[in-house]
């Protein structure tokens, strides 16, 4: 059986549950099976939004994020249920417990999907046999359907799992890329959203093949480091490991605080933003990431809440940078009324070594002064390794304790955010 596995490469599965929320409701109440079912917020109100729906409902044109009134117009017999997140979390835990029976390397991506590295699971059967066993066991034990992609890396496995739904199993090898992947529209590729697809069309990139063969300099100018990464993916290159601890990583980092009293004084509100900027900065540095988008949440005395975001020219992580941008966004959108709650959130996170700073006329002089030091640090890292020099804020607690107990970076607010993902 070991001969059916690559000698040097990996075998990765992407397990994607089909219409997860709807499927969990059907498993809980079998009378719903075979019927057009939708899970929606505020089903009693016309402005409710479809969170997910069964494949029977999709046949009528019902889609995720569609307004409920529109879905009912397309499908008058649509059954609508409120989300039961405790039920969905329990089903998710059962799913991942089952996946861990087949490999120690299971990386949850969200509540209803995850990657598995089964390279060392050859004693359990061939990759295809393992995928079939998982699919059948999920049906038998949890009554939940899934689609599975089998590939040599995470990107190809994700693309493969999307190709046959529901209850599909797809093998996608690197040699299949030119015939299977490249003819697809660039917008169908994992990691390419609508806005990115539109930008790519403007430079003549319409298919995944166009992206795979696109000019690197042009892509980097258009999309930054993400453009290079997408080009690599389009060529089937993805060296990311399956990391069981990756689910704890932040997709956004933010802090908010409810004020002890409603405040309308701008300087006092700036002090609150300063404290929030400090907390967000510490957490960004702790995770060794930088934010390329910053959001401000303002809740007024009457509980009316707004969130406003700004895409940043340069990634930020320091308290000073975050506070400066937070003030700008706040002043632009604050009505002057008393504020009950303030929040700062950094999103579109990039790892420190991937953050590309775009120098402008205002920052050039300051950065130029740092250039000799940066060059020296780069040479040291090249000679002795990437971790020979680290910022104190990036050191682990063990390393900090070795330096001296007088420096403490422990904060009560360093807690892992709970992330919710809308069901596909």
Could you list the residues known to form a binding site for Mg(2+), using ranges.
16, 112
Note whether 344 and 254 are within 8 A (CB): yes
Note whether 41 and 85 are within 8 A (CB): no
Annotated binding site: 16, 112
Q: Is 56 a known active-site residue?
A: no
| Distance separating alpha carbons of residues 156 and 175, to the nearest angstrom | 11
Q: How many CB atoms lie within 10 A of CB 171?
A: 16
Q: How many CB atoms lie within 10 A of CB 276?
A: 25
Q: Residue 166, preceding bond cis, omega within 30 degrees?
A: yes
Paired tokens of 35:
């019927």
The residues, ordered by sequence, that sit 6+ positions from 399 with a Cβ below 8 Å of its Cβ are none
From the candidates 25, 56, 107, 113, which is the catalytic residue? 113
Range list of β-strands (E), 133-206: 146-151, 169-171
**Phi and psi dihedrals of 95, rounded to 5?**
-60, -50
Handedness of CA 212, 215, 220, 225 (dihedral sign): positive
Residue positions annotated with a catalytic role: 113
């Amino acid at each position: 059986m070991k001969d059916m596995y690559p000698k040097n490469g990996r075998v990765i599965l992407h397990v994607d549950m089909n219409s997860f929320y709807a499927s969990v409701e059907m498993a809980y109440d079998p009378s719903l099976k075979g019927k057009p079912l939708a899970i929606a917020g505020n089903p009693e109100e016309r402005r409710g939004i479809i969170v997910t729906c069964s494949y029977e409902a999709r046949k009528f044109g019902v889609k995720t994020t569609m307004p409920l009134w529109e879905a009912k117009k397309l499908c008058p017999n649509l059954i609508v249920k409120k989300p039961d997140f405790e039920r969905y979390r329990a089903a998710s835990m059962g799913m991942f417990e089952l996946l861990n029976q087949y490999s120690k390397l299971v990386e949850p991506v969200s509540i209803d999907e995850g990657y598995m590295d089964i390279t060392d699971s050859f004693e359990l059967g061939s990759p295809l046999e393992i995928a079939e066993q998982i699919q059948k066991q999920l049906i038998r034990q949890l009554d939940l359907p899934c689609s599975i992609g089998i590939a040599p890396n995470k990107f190809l496995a994700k693309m493969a799992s999307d190709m046959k739904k529901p209850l599909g199993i797809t093998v996608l090898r690197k040699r299949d890329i030119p015939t299977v992947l490249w003819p697809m529209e660039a917008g169908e590729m994992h990691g390419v959203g609508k806005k990115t697809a539109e930008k790519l069309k403007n430079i003549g990139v319409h298919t995944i093949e166009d992206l795979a063969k696109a000019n690197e300099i042009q892509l980097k100018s258009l999309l930054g480091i993400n453009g290079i990464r997408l080009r690599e993916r389009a060529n089937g290159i993805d060296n990311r490991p399956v990391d069981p601890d990756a689910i704890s990583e932040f997709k956004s980092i933010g802090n908010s605080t409810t004020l002890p009293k409603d405040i309308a004084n701008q300087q006092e509100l700036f002090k609150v933003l300063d404290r929030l900027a400090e907390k967000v900065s510490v957490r960004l540095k702790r995770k060794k990431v930088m934010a390329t988008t910053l959001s401000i949440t303002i809740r007024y005395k009457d509980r009316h809440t707004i969130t406003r975001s700004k895409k940043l020219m340069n990634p930020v992580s320091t308290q000073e940078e975050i506070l400066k941008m937070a003030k700008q966004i706040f002043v632009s959108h604050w009505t002057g009324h008393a504020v009950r709650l303030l929040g700062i959130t950094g999103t579109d996170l990039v790892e420190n070594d991937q953050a590309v700073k775009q120098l402008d006329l205002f920052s050039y002089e300051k950065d130029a002064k740092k250039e000799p030091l940066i060059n020296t640090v780069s040479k040291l890292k090249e000679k002795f390794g990437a971790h020979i020099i680290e910022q104190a804020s990036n050191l682990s607690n063990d390393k900090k304790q070795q330096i001296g107990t007088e420096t403490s970076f422990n904060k009560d607010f360093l807690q892992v955010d709970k992330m919710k993902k809308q069901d596909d």
